[in-house]
Amino acid sequence: MTAPELRPKSWIDSIAPYIPGSSKTLDGRPAVKLSSNENPLGTSHKAQDAYLQSADDLSLYPDSGATALREAIGSCYNLDPARIIHGTGSDEILHLAAGAYAGQDDEVLYPRYSFSVYPLAARRVGATPVEAPDDDYRCSVDALLKAVTPRTRVVFIANPNNPTGTWITKAEVEKLYNGLPRNCLLVIDQAYAEYLDPECDDGALALAKNARNVLVTRTFSKIYGLAAERIGWGYACPEIIDALNRIRAPFNVTIAGQRAALAALQDQEFIQNSFKHNKKWRGWFENEMAQLSNAGIRVIPSSANFSLLLFEGMVNAETAYKALMDQGYITRWLPGQRLPHALRITIGSEQHMRDVARILTSLVRQAL
């Protein structure tokens, strides 16, 4: 008789590994990375100083409860710190949500063209990922509600969404919440919320204040410029936070990360500058790309720190991706997300955006 072999759980085999944005060209040259939606202005100097000063404490475990950081988040966003959970990036919190509320025989629902971690988080716990149709690259609340079954346990939406950059209104978020059964956790992933104009607030944090089945997630990786340190947070009712904390890894955010995030929260001038830079160059870039519509390039209006370009004419997305790569710019071509006709491009510095626009414009001219 042959000895039984070690095998991962059957559902683990079905996971397509997450593909991070690359920082080198195909032939190994260093390049400008416009593929991971990082902050082109870098990090607040105050956060950098707090990080560097933490070197003295390298031998110590961090505060497992991240008390000072949660209090600072609470005062910045006017939330009860006891209802905040911190994570190793908001990614961890998305995984915790699936882990606490879904499992085998359950469904995890999200719109088509969503953040690629949602199916991963579902499969990791043996649940079935289910996609609802989109509405021209935008989340359709009606389609999501139609796709709910008695097995649906978690619904993920990103608002604004990655990779489309589109967002849904407060009224649409409320409609989604009102239409969902109360035994279903609604996760509103606000990784890019700080890039929305203030009047476009989707009301998710206010909703989570009173709802018993809503979790909002945020990150320090985007506008706060701390992607390397892996810090995210979530806000929900005490029962949800308690459930997530039970399965959270202890000491999940480093001392340097906690202090850097706290300092970053207190440097709102840096956040304002990042917001203004993004708005200005996203607008400029989208306007430049609109000039290429006669060549079948369509820009999906974005509310985040990237733009999604659709190549629906004579130049295809792969050609554009390679032309940009040749000139030292790495963007995100998305065949793995069933968007082989699309490039997602992070809003970089002024120079980056001017270069990318010039390269794409000359590619189109050659094709015309």
Ligand X SMILES: Cc1ncc(COP(=O)(O)O)c(C=O)c1O
Q: What residues make contact with ligand X under the rule CB under 6 A?
A: 37, 89-91, 115, 158, 162, 189, 191, 219, 221, 227, 232
What are phi and psi for residue 188, nearest 5 degrees?
A: -105, 110
Shortest distance (Å) from residue 66 CB to ligand X = 14
- As to burial, measured by CB atoms within 10 angstroms (0-12 exposed, 13-18 middle, 19+ buried), residue 1 is exposed
Give the residue nearest to ligand X (CB).
89
Smaller CB separation from ligand X, 91 or 106? 91
Q: How many CB atoms lie within 10 A of CB 216?
A: 28
Smaller CB separation from ligand X, 31 or 191? 191
CA-CA distance, 220 to 192, in Å (whole number)? 10
Smaller CB separation from ligand X, 162 or 274? 162
Shortest distance (Å) from residue 37 CB to ligand X = 6
Smaller CB separation from ligand X, 172 or 189? 189
Shortest distance (Å) from residue 89 CB to ligand X = 3
- As to burial, measured by CB atoms within 10 angstroms (0-12 exposed, 13-18 middle, 19+ buried), residue 366 is exposed
Shortest distance (Å) from residue 194 CB to ligand X = 12
Structure token digits, residue 151: 């097995």
Shortest distance (Å) from residue 264 CB to ligand X = 13
Strands (E), the chain: 32-33, 84-88, 107-111, 128-132, 152-158, 185-189, 214-219, 231-235, 297-300, 306-311, 329-330, 332-334, 339-346
Smaller CB separation from ligand X, 90 or 278? 90
Smaller CB separation from ligand X, 163 or 364? 163
Contact present, 217 and 192 (Cβ < 8 Å) = no
Shortest distance (Å) from residue 196 CB to ligand X = 13
CA-CA distance, 305 to 158, in Å (whole number)? 14
